[in-house]
Amino acid sequence: MEKKIKKIEDLGEFGLIKHLTSDISMKHQSTLKGPGDDAAVMDYKGKLVVATSDILMEGIHFNLIYTPMKHLGYKAVIANLSDIYAMNAIPKHIIVSVAFSSKLTLKQIENLYAGIRLACDNYDVDLAGGDTSTSVTGMAISITAIGEGEKKRLVYRNGAKKNDLICVSGDLGAAYLGLQLLEREKKIFLENPEVQPELEGYDYLLQRQLKPEPRADIIDFFRKLNAQPSAMIDISDGLSSETLHICNESGVGCKLFADHIPVDPETEKLAAEFNITPLVAALNGGEDYELLFTVSPGEYVKLKGNRNIRAIGHITDPDAGCNLVTHDGSFIPLQAKGWNAYGSNE
């Protein structure tokens, strides 16, 4: 059968993965979850092994002009740990493959690994193996994180039910504004290398962009309170995109309330400078590594006391669609305008 879609740009990242893997059937009964969630889930004699992998390319995912190597290593690990936590599982091991371009010095590579190792130390994870190579072009970093989970605790994207509350940890949009700040200073630097960068007063935004942390604390909190989300995903591409993933996978609709979406004052301040609506940064910005999850009203009672968790909406029937409700009560359909490595949304 002729395939009608001819261009990668038309598919986007998720479309491409789906396109390439949709008709794959799993051979092993032990493969509990294949492509299409934050991580794969495999049953090795009762203990569930959860694994995920990311590939980061120079010029696409990071820019060495303003990304210190140590931060790059740290963030590359964090992005993967976040995916494991988003399964309500605990990361235990990482495997790191890096291809270095010849322009890098050994000191720079050591700094990259210092960042990788710091992330491992902070989150009690072993760097268990990997591969290094050279690159004739840019640098590439691929990290696989492997962790363990319990069958009754694991949370997929497809478990959201009508009337479940939609919750988010922390605040959103800060990493995106941090990136805008770095891009502005890069431009100024390239035009006039004498000018000192003006980064003061935006420590939080820079930290969110350069040294994000995954929400291990939230997963720990769930465990201690014996609270069980119905669906969960980490916010790497923006709230809109991730909410749509949960709704599409679960076959439900949703209402998100704009007034409830948490945005830090520093994010609001810089957004005003850049003439960006803070809400847009929260919806489409990405790289926040916060957790987006749904819980039944009964389970939500357990979580109410945690100031790092905010209910921002609820799940509806699928025919109600996926909407953002603005403060004047109007409905705006959610759109996946998140950061897209394929450029189709830009």
Q: Which of residues 45-64 bind a second copy (CB under 8 A)?
A: 45-47, 49, 51-61
Q: Which helix (H) or strand (E) holds 9?
A: helix 8-21
181 is a contact residue toward a second copy (CB under 8 A): no
Residues contacting residue 124 through CB under 8 Å, at least 6 positions apart = none
Contact status: 5 vs a second copy (CB under 8 A): yes
**Token pair recorded at residue 342:** 């394929």
Which residues pair with residue 293 across a beta bridge? 167, 232
Burial track 85-122 (b if 16+ CB lie within 10 A, e otherwise): bbbbbbbbbbbbbbbbeeebeeebbebbbebbbbbbee
Residue 197, token pair as written in the block: 């960068």
Which listed residue (64, 118, 127, 320) binds a second copy by CB under 8 A? 127
Closest distance to a second copy from the beta carbon of 190 (Å): 18
Sheet containing strand 140-149, strands side by side? 31-33, 40-44, 47-57, 140-149, 90-101, 126-135
Q: CA-CA distance, 240 to 233, in Å (whole number)? A: 12
Shortest spacing between CB 217 and a second copy, in angstroms: 19
Q: Which of 59, 46, 238, 66 is nearest to 149 (CA)?
A: 46
Tokens read off for 208: 């969110």
Contact 168, 229 (CB under 8 A): no
The binder of a second copy chosen from 64, 67, 68, 92 (CB under 8 A): 92
Classify residue 320 by its DSSP letter. Answer: G
The 256-285 site mask, x for binding a second copy (CB under 8 A), equals: ------------------------------
Question: Which one among 65, 134, 201, 203 touches a second copy, defined by CB under 8 A?
Answer: 134
Site for a second copy in 159-178 (CB under 8 A): none
Distance CA 177, CA 85 (A): 24
Smallest gap from Cβ 122 to a second copy, in A, equals: 12
Rule CB under 8 A: choose which of 2, 22, 24, 200 binds a second copy: 24
Between 120 and 322, name the residue whose CB sits nearer to a second copy: 120
With binding defined as CB under 8 A, does residue 65 bind a second copy? no
Residue in 1, 22, 35, 293 binding a second copy, rule: CB under 8 A: 35
Q: Is 128 in the site for a second copy (CB under 8 A)?
A: yes
If the CB atoms of residues 39 and 78 are measured against a second copy, the closer one turns out to be 39
By CB under 8 A, tell whether 152 contacts a second copy: no
Of positions 64, 68, 113, 227, contacts a second copy by CB under 8 A: 113
Q: Does the protein bind a second copy through residue 21 (CB under 8 A)?
A: yes
Task: Among 131, 198, 220, 317, indicate the residue that binds a second copy (CB under 8 A).
Answer: 131
* Among 201, 265, 333, 343, contact with a second copy (rule: CB under 8 A): 343
Extended beta strands in the chain, E state: 31-33, 40-44, 47-57, 90-101, 126-135, 140-149, 165-169, 231-235, 253-257, 290-295, 309-316, 322-325, 331-333
Q: Which one of 44-52, 168-176, 239-247, 268-276 is the stretch in contact with a second copy (CB under 8 A)?
A: 44-52
When the beta carbons of 89 and 312 are compared against a second copy, the nearer one is 89
341 binding a second copy? (CB under 8 A): yes
